[in-house]
Amino acid sequence: MPQIEPKHTRHPLLTQNLCLSFGDSAVLHDISIEIPQNRLTVLLGPNGSGKSTLLGAMSRLNRPFRGITYLNGKDIATQHTRDIARKLGILPQSPLLPANMTVYDLVSRGRFPHQGMFAHWTSADENAVIRALEITGTLEFSNRAVETLSGGQRQRCFIAMALAQETDIILFDEPTTYLDLRYQVEVMELISQLGTQHGRTIVAVLHDLNFALQYADYLVFLKNGRIHQPATLPQDCTAELITAVFETPVTKLTNPVSGLPVFLPLRKQGGLKNVG
Ligand SMILES: Nc1ncnc2c1ncn2[C@@H]1O[C@H](COP(=O)(O)OP(=O)(O)OP(=O)(O)O)[C@@H](O)[C@H]1O
């Protein structure tokens, strides 16, 4: 008889029928989502559609009133915080910037879940921090105070901190916000390589649709707290889908290099401006 692989080995993170409210306000409705292993899954959707809340529910920061998040096949609600932190890291939208902290010290914070009661710093901790600094290209300013760095350099330091945690799963909430084009590309190159080259399972909330299409392995579309369209390959996204999700007419073009789709909004009033 052929061996059937347990679902959680292919989907180390999955949710079943999550429903979540803040007070009287229902935010997530019946969310079932399977996150594929060693891939980059991007959550997309309009403002307020529940993307950050879903990341929170997948990491136990937000508690659903119904439904379950499974982390490596076990209900996340029954797992110890330190155990969760050894398996799953999350980089929030606006991480707090500690004052007077060097890059090295910030990245070292990623090792907290691995340290015992007496917080001995081991060679494994040191190696993980150095590796994270190298992968993110931040080793060269490891002795500088984080607040003296540019936005993009800082963002890479926070990504290094998440990497030093050495979790198999990392959740990123809008990792490219405030970055210029060059740093957006750098951060997205780095994040997409984490899956394929470094064996991590990544979920990211992104606002830039066209960036998401160029880098994601799968896209999940949310609307009004529901899954509008489950895991979709970038090449399968249509103008109809994007128009329906964002309620904005778009036209589809093709990136001549990657062959992947690119969507441009259609102007409401005509096209060419009469200049000169
Ligand atoms: N702590 C909270 N208390 C009350 N309501 C909240 C809280 N956090 C989020 N919400 C509400 O939940 C809904 C979903 O918010 P969420 O931040 O998850 O959306 P999002 O898709 O990530 O939005 P954006 O694209 O604007 O970042 C919104 O209506 C928001 O106002």
Q: What are the angstrom distances between the C-alpha of 131 and each of 16, 113, 163?
A: 35, 17, 9
Whether residue 206 has its Cβ less than 6 Å from ligand 1: no
What is the SS3 assignment for 167-222? Answer: CCEEEEECCCCCCCHHHHHHHHHHHHHHHHCCCCEEEEECCCHHHHHHHCCEEEEE
Q: Is residue 275 part of a domain?
A: no
Q: Is residue 270 part of a domain?
A: no
Domain that holds residue 105: 7-265
Q: Is residue 43 part of a domain?
A: yes
pLDDT by position in tens, the chain (length 276): 545 444 555 789 999 999 999 999 999 999 999 999 999 999 999 999 999 999 999 999 999 999 999 999 999 999 999 899 989 999 988 777 878 899 999 999 988 877 665 668 888 889 999 999 998 889 999 999 999 998 888 888 998 999 898 899 999 999 888 778 887 888 899 889 888 888 899 999 999 999 999 999 999 999 999 999 999 999 999 999 999 999 999 999 999 999 999 999 997 776 666 554
Whether residue 48 has its Cβ less than 6 Å from ligand 1: yes
Report the predicted TM-score, pTM, of the whole model to 2 decimal places: 0.89
Residue with the smallest CA separation from ligand 1 atom 9 is: 53
Given a contact cutoff of 8 angstroms between Cβ atoms, the answer to whether 259 and 72 are in contact is: no
Which amino acid makes up residue 45?
G
Whether residue 56 has its Cβ less than 6 Å from ligand 1: no
Q: How many domains does the chain have?
A: 1
Whether residue 51 has its Cβ less than 6 Å from ligand 1: yes
Ligand 1 mean position to 52 CA, how many Å? Answer: 7
68: CATH: 3.40.50.300
Whether residue 94 has its Cβ less than 6 Å from ligand 1: no
Residue with the smallest CA separation from ligand 1 atom 24 is: 47
Ligand 1 atom nearest to 49, measured from its CA: 21
Ligand 1 atom nearest to 46, measured from its CA: 25
Q: Is residue 1 part of a domain?
A: no
**Interface confidence (ipTM) of the complex:** 0.97
Q: Is residue 2 part of a domain?
A: no
